[in-house]
Amino acid sequence: MQWDSRAVGFVLGLLAPLLGFAAYGGIYVTAIRPHHDFHWFVHDLFLGTEEYRTRIVSLSLIADAALFFLFDRRDMHKAMRGVIGAMLVYGIYIAGALALDGLQSLDWS
């Protein structure tokens, strides 16, 4: 299997923010709100509060930046392009969710 391909970079770019989400959640429940647990972070804060969902996803994308620079250091330019594609997918989700939240706040029912 060739590791320097757009497909590998895209798949790893989609999976890396999951690790970033877990890392941010771990930091959040140990340093910021130590009286809560990771289950609270996922179910109450992330899934239960629409206001914070896009912010948490955005912070989780820092893991993609680390993956991008790892591929850059190893001269894996095709995989870097795949990571950029995955970041664009997450960006489309974030922009769409923010636009939907903005339209819902106008209360056009």
CA 33 to centroid of chain Cα atoms: 21
Residue-wise burial string across 50-65, b where 16 or more C-beta atoms lie within 10 A, e elsewhere: eeebbebbebbbebbe
- Average pLDDT of the chain, as a whole number: 93
pTM value > 0.85? yes
Please check whether residue 85 is in contact with residue 6, taking contact to mean a CB–CB distance below 8 angstroms.
Answer: yes
Q: Kindly state the tokens that stand for 10.
A: 């895209």
Q: Torsions phi, psi of 16, nearest 5?
A: -60, -40
> Distance between CA atoms of 4 and 10, rounded to whole angstroms?
11
pLDDT (tens digit per residue) in 23-53: 999 999 999 999 999 999 999 999 998 889 9
Please check whether residue 82 is in contact with residue 9, taking contact to mean a CB–CB distance below 8 angstroms.
Answer: yes
Name the band, by pLDDT with cuts 50, 70 and 90, for residue 109. low
Mean predicted confidence (pLDDT) in 57-83:
96
